[in-house]
Structure 1
């Protein structure tokens, strides 16, 4: 009876990893040599060679992940759309119950539609904030006009002794406006950066959080459910520990000649199946810059096609993000951030 391998692509068994790696290096593998890892055929990591079915050929890692992530992204998009629809329905009927003491179906979640309404809700949360403000700001260089508009509110919170921490992408380091903003904050805030961050997130005193509900950020969710807010705070804390203090220099390269740290970050995203546009968005750079780095990455790895680039990325161990900050890195500078529309 054949051995059952109950796992997904993200948790290959030891034999599966060995056989798949051997197939990638050789370009194909004898079907008999792969008999101990039937999971590879079941997961479509190996498929019969059209020219000789006694052999199996590997599917490039990038194509495997891209196939799986397409389905996952579709599921996430449908779930998000359903969540927004349900919370709007709950908000519409809140207060119409005969039993006013009964908890509302939408308790803990409020849908905010329109940027003026979102800004108003964030301003109210800022005014009530007394202890801690955590924020994630995706994208690249922050516009000076945006930072200047946010400065008065941030200074008011700082005057109350509020501890402020913000995460940006590494691309934000190239904007002089951020450094001037932090200087005017007088050391009342901290900033760290990562190759990529999650979507915009604002948390006030671990009591209320704001996240975008649409891609254009014209709809946001105000979250007050203690479990949800605490979960988001834990996510922030874990990203914060991985972040690089703004004043600490980043590692220049990946350890592979001709490949920079940014190109290693791009390689990891390509291995996950992201398009050029999605790579640019996640790293806070424009598409032209992303494509320039992808060309350089292909040249450094000797890849002549996108499929071959995926294989070379895996073979060179570039399918994981660059090394995060460790305890040996310099301490974080006293700098930081701005409440802003999610």
Structure 2
């Protein structure tokens, strides 16, 4: 009679472990047996049964019978465990020893580096980080962060891959009780991936706000170390000088006070605040930037969206063309009687 065994999670660890228990029980009862005899009465799914047999072989609990092809015999559990566990323990000890050695080497070299900086740079630490290294350094800073991280993310929506990478790092900090505040540009509200990312983080305790325009990217850990874009390439500047870091924190706080709490795309369109704020920003930028592309870049929106906002401004002010629009905007911003709602 076939015995039916229920397995709740065939693909997961629990399912494989359960199948291993069943197979090992058969091996204990039957002694030497073929694979068919081992599997015959259990009615396990074939992929799961194969994984369980292979794992029992890896642990040394099922071994081929000498001189009898296709026949397995079971090994004493204690003997198999004595063979399998000590090498793993040695590997862990060796890996920890290697970690301690490498960290010690870096600590010794860091002392030399810091001494050279103190001797040669009276303004404090300002280090250029290669673009290839910035992710690893940010991961390390996130692991060491204990109280607060401040982030300014200009440029509108962020790529999905970047959000996925940041989510793991950010959630780990929030779970440790680190306070997290982030400022985006308004256009980030209308990107589904960014909206979903912000929703997950705010549920975990993060605070997120948006502004129409924002200074370049900034990350500050524990008000001690800041990262800004490098001025001459794709890398970053790592700043430890406390006077400079304090200045950057002050700039962030100013932006934070002026920013509005992040809301969904639906709520933002319904309330109309973000749209009107965006149009006011465009109105001011149009007096400084002759090209739509430059205005769009400042606001982190597409050139097409920028042109749509400009078209609405022309309609609201009754402008006949772009030159007329510029005149009306200049008049409005000077308070010369044109529509001051711009």
Normalising by the smaller structure, the TM-score range is: 0.5 to 0.7
1:260 to partner: Cα distance:
4.2
- Looking at structure 2, the residues matched to 171 and 123 of structure 1 have their Cα atoms a distance apart, in angstroms, of 27
1:133 to 130, 149, 155: 149
Report if the CA contact (8 A) 2:185-2:213 is conserved.
yes
Larger gyration radius, structure 1 or structure 2:
2
Report if the CA contact (8 A) 1:264-1:318 is conserved.
no
Structure showing greater relative contact order (alpha-carbon pairs closer than 8 Å, 6 or more residues apart): 1
1:306 to partner: Cα distance:
3.4
Q: Which residue of 2 aligns with 1:201?
A: 218
With the length of structure 1 as denominator, give the TM-score of the two structures: 0.57
Determine whether 1:243 maps to 2:263: no
Q: Which residue of 2 aligns with 1:303?
A: 319
Report if the CA contact (8 A) 2:153-2:216 is conserved.
yes
SS of structure 2 residue aligned to 1:202: strand
Determine whether 1:118 maps to 2:134: yes
Q: Which residue of 1 aligns with 2:125?
A: 108
Report if the CA contact (8 A) 2:123-2:241 is conserved.
no
- Looking at structure 2, the residues matched to 178 and 101 of structure 1 have their Cα atoms a distance apart, in angstroms, of 42
1:309 to partner: Cα distance:
1.9
SS of structure 2 residue aligned to 1:136: strand
1:300 to partner: Cα distance:
2.8
Report if the CA contact (8 A) 1:267-1:318 is conserved.
no
1:127 to partner: Cα distance:
1.5
1:252 to 272, 278, 282: 272
1:170 to 180, 186, 199: 186
1:177 to partner: Cα distance:
2.0
1:6-34 Cα offsets, whole Å, 9 max, x none, are xxxxxxxxxxxxxxxxxxxxxxxxxxxxx
With the length of structure 2 as denominator, give the TM-score of the two structures: 0.57
1:228-273 Cα offsets, whole Å, 9 max, x none, are 000000000011011111138555269xxxx944322210111233
1:316 to partner: Cα distance:
2.4
Q: CA RMSD in A?
A: 3.2
Q: How many residues align?
A: 222
Q: Measured at CA, do residues 270 and 222 of structure 1 come closer, stay the same or move farther in structure 2, by a change above 3 Å?
A: same
2:173 to 149, 152, 157: 157
Q: Which residue of 1 aligns with 2:200?
A: 184
Q: Measured at CA, do residues 100 and 292 of structure 1 come closer, stay the same or move farther in structure 2, by a change above 3 Å?
A: closer
1:96 to partner: Cα distance:
9.5
Unmatched segments (≥5 aa) in structure 1:
1-94, 324-342
Q: Which residue of 2 aligns with 1:230?
A: 246
Q: Measured at CA, do residues 100 and 283 of structure 1 come closer, stay the same or move farther in structure 2, by a change above 3 Å?
A: closer
Report if the CA contact (8 A) 2:130-2:235 is conserved.
yes
1:313 to 308, 316, 329: 329
Query: Which protein has the bigger helix share?
Result: 2
